[in-house]
Amino acid sequence: MSATAVKADFYEVLSVSRDCSEQELKAAYRKQAMQYHPDRNPNNPAAEEKFKACSEAYQVLSDPEKRAAYDRYGHAAFGGGAPGGNPFAGAGFQGDLGDIFGDLFGEMFNTGGQGRRGSRTQRGRDLRYDLELEFEEAVFGAEKEIQIRRLESCDDCHGTGAANGKAPTTCTQCGGRGQVRFQQGFFSVAKTCSRCNGTGTVITDPCPACRGEGLQPKKHTIKVKVPAGVEQDTRIRYQGEGEAGRHGGPSGDLYVILSIKPHKFFERDGDDLHCVMPISFPQAALGTELEIETLEGPATIKIPEGTQNGRQFRLRGKGVPHLNEHGKGDLLVEVRVATPTKLNKQQKELLRELAGTMEIENVPTSRGLFDKMKDIFS
């Protein structure tokens, strides 16, 4: 049987860090797409495969929702791997092909078309907020109020970056085209204008409040609704609650990452809860009824006669609510028979009397294969 190939990490394919910005991601893809494009590497299957790999990686990471899913689940977020085949087919690719390949080839080689003027609009940055919850808040849900600091549109210039509402002027270096061209051999090569950074306009009188940036840092309060049953590292996305875009661009998103404090005696396994309950030897031998605290109040467990150490009792529906579904998990209570360490004289005499009425053959017993395997791997 042949081994299954391990799919390369999308961030490693594009040689970017996991916290790279949208602009860094796009620049890395453009660089690799230019290097490995089949038109520039004829009869080179390896280059074609690399081009497909970087295009596939960019397809996922350029989409905020797909990127968030990939960051959490890896390739498993897409059914064991990102969509195969042509990454630009159908609705799978959400990137701007004209923007990417226009930069790669349309600007490098003059094929008779007009130069594309750079766009001033720029999407705002995504933000992250780490929110710590109490164990019970994660189980039952909660509403929390958080405060973030983000860039918002400047109140003085209304985001234009220019003082007194004055409109930006046409860049004299590129004539408003956003590009400067020069001849190199048989080709007319275009480069982004260094004075206006491709926008075609410049601000001659910048706004003093934001220094021409059009954005100012401000505090913003958001109410976070935590649904019942959330787990550790759950991400809640708030679309448009990130930093404001530049020059009319869309705002980024806010990702609230949840962390959950441990409980003093409950442990969580999926939607089930586990705990350990100590009982005495007489309780285990004779049986009893015990009251145990659950997250919803007290409940009763019936301990039958002859209960052995480590036995588990299941309380159905006393666990964690299923996230966005009806029903709950269970509470599993493991009993531990506690051996007393300090006995008074009367207690010792009673135990000796009891021991005299019980016959136990103290010889080794064989252990099952399961117990032996536990010893090997522990």
The pLDDT of residue 95: 39
**CA neighbor of 142 nearest in space, from 225, 255, 258:** 225
Is residue 73 over pLDDT 90?
no
Least confident of 8-22, 32-46, 102-116: 102-116
Is residue 107 over pLDDT 50?
no
In this structure, what CATH number is given to the domain that contains residue 343?
2.60.260.20
Least confident of 42-51, 96-105, 269-278, 288-297: 96-105
Is residue 196 over pLDDT 90?
no
Q: pLDDT-derived band of residue 187, with 50, 70 and 90 as boundaries?
A: low
**Average pLDDT for 21-27:** 88
In a domain, 282, yes or no: yes
In this structure, what CATH number is given to the domain that contains residue 102?
1.10.287.110
Residue bearing the bigger pLDDT, 192 or 140: 140
How many degrees, rounded to 5, is the angle at CA 6 between CA 4 and CA 10? 150
Best-predicted range by mean pLDDT (21-35, 186-200, 291-305):
291-305
**Average pLDDT for 305-321:** 94
Best-predicted range by mean pLDDT (68-77, 101-110, 153-162):
153-162
**Average pLDDT for 251-256:** 94
- Mean per-residue pLDDT over the chain, rounded: 81
The pLDDT of residue 287: 93
Question: How many domains is the chain partitioned into structurally?
Answer: 2
State what percent of residues in the chain have pLDDT above 70.
80
The pLDDT of residue 49: 87
In a domain, 229, yes or no: no
In a domain, 256, yes or no: no
State what percent of residues in the chain have pLDDT above 90.
39
**Average pLDDT for 168-172:** 85
The pLDDT of residue 157: 84
Q: Last residue of a domain, which of 84, 106, 128?
A: 106
The pLDDT of residue 36: 85
Least confident of 37-41, 65-69, 86-90: 86-90
The pLDDT of residue 87: 38
The pLDDT of residue 81: 42
Is residue 201 over pLDDT 70?
yes
Q: Last residue of a domain, which of 78, 106, 134?
A: 106
**In 26-48, which positions are buried (b, 16+ CB within 10 angstroms) versus exposed (e)?**
bebbbebbbebbeeeeeeeeebe
Q: pLDDT-derived band of residue 365, with 50, 70 and 90 as boundaries?
A: low
In a domain, 160, yes or no: no
**Average pLDDT for 192-216:** 84
What are 218's two structure tokens? 């401000």
Residue bearing the bigger pLDDT, 312 or 1: 312
Q: Last residue of a domain, which of 51, 73, 106?
A: 106
In a domain, 206, yes or no: no
Best-predicted range by mean pLDDT (3-12, 44-53, 252-261):
252-261
Q: What is the pTM of this model?
A: 0.58
Q: pLDDT-derived band of residue 321, with 50, 70 and 90 as boundaries?
A: very high
Span 52-66, pLDDT tens digits: 888 888 988 988 888
Domain containing residue 324:
267-359
The CA distance from 375 to 378, in Å, is 5
In a domain, 36, yes or no: yes
The CA distance from 173 to 200, in Å, is 9
Kindly compute the dihedral angle of the four CA atoms of residues 215, 221, 227, 229, in this order, to the nearest 10 degrees. 90
**Average pLDDT for 251-269:** 94
In a domain, 143, yes or no: no
In a domain, 232, yes or no: no
Is residue 184 over pLDDT 70?
no
Name residues whose C-beta falls within 8 Å of residue 38's C-beta, 6 or more positions apart in sequence. 44, 47, 48, 51
Is residue 149 over pLDDT 70?
yes
